[in-house]
Amino acid sequence: MDEDLIRKYATPAPRYTSYPTAPHFHAGISAGIHRGWLAALDPDATVSLYIHVPFCDRLCWFCACNTKQVRQYAPLLRYLEALHSEIETVATVLDGRARVGAVHYGGGSPTMLEPRDLIAVDEHLRSRFRFLPDAEIAVEIDANDMDEARFDALAAIGLSRASLGVQDFDPRVQKAINREQSFEDTRTVVEAVRRRGARSVNLDLLYGLPHQTEVSVASTAEQALALAPDRLALFGYAHVPWMKKHQAMIDEAVLPDPVERFRQFGRAASLISSAGYEAIGLDHFARPSDAMALASRERWLRRNFQGYTCDRADALIGLGASSVSQLPQGYVQNAPAAADYERRVLSEGLATVRGIELTAADRVRSWVIERLMCDLAFSRCELLTRFGEAASPILDEADHLAASDSDGLFERRGNRYAVTERGRLFVRSIAAAFDRYLQTGAGRHSAAV
């Protein structure tokens, strides 16, 4: 592909894990509004729970997650007290409404929790919410945390899907990002969780890191494939030191440029696809038998703050510091700092600090952007059926975008608007054409390639 075209579309753009995106959340959404939205959930709604553990025992310099390095366990105990209190508050507000179809433990490093504490959270959730018999339990795992007791605790809570951050297996790259994790350590975890019943294993890889090359990224992809994961994510490193100060520890002089990033992705993606994995949206791959591949083929793949998901729940309830809830009325976010979260929960029950209520126009654009990110396409007829005349401005914009695109990235095929295969890696930039909030200039974003 032409290098000028790569640079043209590598400009910053949101990742579109929500629409409107988080920089446009505001303080007008209060804890009282949050309670009202929870109380209005349909009694038969299906919900997913996200549990955030914002602590790590080491700080990876590439990380853009909301987390904090701690060397003692006492901060986690204080945090868990607040987390249990928030669980109780939310369960009381719901008063038996809604059924839990999935729980996702993220971080930070949720595997930092002592086994008894992880099990206690699970028991509290199950005692206060109605769990579906086949509810998925997903946990993000740091291989360096793990021991036999923690593996047993994961089995005790019913772990069904494990996600491991690999990033890169090259020792030079690992040192540059302060994330040392050997292939053998990773294999040990994969084998251990499978023995204990995990039905799906996901590995996260990164491209665009310091000292990476096409060859090194391809080597990591080949090693990851040797572990036969059910899913692979191939993320572009988001260098945002204005948001995450510790990223200043990374030497920008050894970061690859947009063209090299593009080539790194292309080579790794080709290897993964050649191994029989199906490409999912922008940056995921799955075995044809995996639920995510099925969701992609049948066009019910979704997008949320954890990325691509085949979760079909009516609402996502976030618990813990910085967690985001996605409710029918809009988005709600908890206080990001652990200390502020704890103070708010223990004094007010909830830690809501901001959010946004969806307008009718937001819902139309949210649907279009999600379908572009997930299916690389959307149907003109389906958009009109769902939203009626409210869809007209979007259709005009889509017609204009397809007619004016001289780069071969986006086209109209009769009833269908589609991102071309050439445009797949630029889908964030294409989706941004339908983002009316982006023009306000709120927020800075990472490179779109």
> Helix or strand or coil: residue 333?
strand
Return the axis-axis angle of helices 360-375 and 392-404, rounded to nearest 10°. 40
C-alpha 347/C-alpha 368 separation (Å) is 40
Place of tokens 């490093």: 109
232 contact partners, CB below 8 Å, separation of at least 6: 202, 203, 204, 205, 221, 224, 225, 272, 277, 284, 285, 286
Q: Which two tokens stand for residue 167?
A: 């990033």
What are all long-range contacts of 427-432, with beta carbons under 8 Å and residues at least 24 apart?
Answer: 427/281, 427/282, 427/372, 427/373, 427/376, 428/13, 428/14, 428/15, 428/16, 428/282, 428/373, 429/9, 429/11, 429/13, 430/372, 430/401, 431/13, 431/14, 431/16, 431/369, 431/372, 431/373, 432/13, 432/14
C-alpha 164/C-alpha 52 separation (Å) is 16
Mean pLDDT for the chain?
Answer: 95
* Mean predicted confidence (pLDDT) in 360-367: 98
pLDDT of residue 242: 83
Of 189, 155, 183, give the one whose Cα is nearest residue 171. 183
Give, in order, the Cα–Cα distances in Å from 10 to each of 21, 151, 207, 216, 424.
19, 41, 14, 22, 12
pLDDT of residue 247: 86
Beta-sheet pairing, 352-357 with 330-334 = antiparallel
Q: Which two tokens stand for residue 71?
A: 């060397």
252 contact partners, CB below 8 Å, separation of at least 6: 239
For 92-130, what is each residue's pLDDT tens digit?
999 999 999 999 999 999 999 999 999 999 999 999 999
Assess whether pLDDT exceeds 80 at residue 328: yes
Q: How confident is the model at residue 448 (pLDDT cuts 50, 70, 90)?
A: low
* Mean predicted confidence (pLDDT) in 8-29: 93
C-alpha 60/C-alpha 206 separation (Å) is 13
For 204-255, what is each residue's pLDDT tens digit?
999 999 999 999 999 999 999 999 999 999 999 988 888 888 888 899 999 9
Place of tokens 């699970």: 122
Assess whether pLDDT exceeds 70 at residue 447: no
Domains of the chain as residue ranges with CATH: 21-357 (3.80.30.20), 360-440 (1.10.10.920)
* Dihedral sign (CA 43, 44, 48, 49): positive
- Percent of the chain whose predicted confidence (pLDDT) is above 90: 88
- CA 272, 136, 15 angle in degrees (round to 5)? 50
pLDDT of residue 449: 66
Q: What is the DSSP string of 7-42?
A: HHH-SB----SSSS-GGG-BTTS-HHHHHHHHHTS-
pLDDT of residue 441: 60
Assess whether pLDDT exceeds 80 at residue 443: no
> Helix or strand or coil: residue 90?
helix
For 36-56, what is each residue's pLDDT tens digit?
999 999 999 999 999 999 999
pTM of the model: 0.94
Q: Are 234 and 268 in contact (CB under 8 A)?
A: yes
H/E stretch holding 284 reads strand 284-286
pLDDT of residue 2: 87
